[in-house]
Amino acid sequence: MGGIAAVTLLGAIVAAVMLPRLARARAQATWSARSSDEDGLNAVMMEYGQSVIMRSAMLEGAGLFGAVVMLLDGKPLVLAVPAAALVGLGFVFPTATRAAGFANAVVEQ
């Protein structure tokens, strides 16, 4: 079951990498169809927030699954999955700098 947890983590990592690209594309479409700059920026930040929530949920699910597998199997090596998920959550955690970078990337294109 440890292998299944590792595959789940791999899927979560792939999703965490791909979702920002999809969110940026959706935000650019929203930005180009804006009625005002303020409304457009609000919509862009909503896309950013949704992306962060989805990526965090994927990583959290993989980490919790790995923890449950460790509790069921008793193999401490499986704790690498929740540890990797925590590291991933650190990279996904929203900060003002990351949000501004996302907004600038969308607005400048």
pLDDT in tens, 10-44: 999 999 999 999 999 999 999 999 999 999 999 99
Characterize 72-104 residue by residue with b for buried, 16 or more Cβ atoms within 10 angstroms of its Cβ, and e for exposed: eeeeeebbebbebbeebeeebeeeeeeeeebbe
Average pLDDT, the chain: 93
Tell me, what's the pLDDT at 17?
Answer: 92
pTM: 0.88
pLDDT at 61 over 90: yes
The mean pLDDT of 73-88, rounded to a whole number, is: 93
Q: For the chain, how many helices (H) and strands (E)?
A: 4, 0
pLDDT score, position 51: 95
Query: Cβ contacts of residue 15 below 8 Å, gap of 6+?
Result: 54, 55, 58
pLDDT at position 2 is 81
What is the predicted pLDDT for the residue at 1?
A: 81
Mean pLDDT across 98-105: 95
Confidence of residue 109 (pLDDT cuts 50, 70, 90): confident
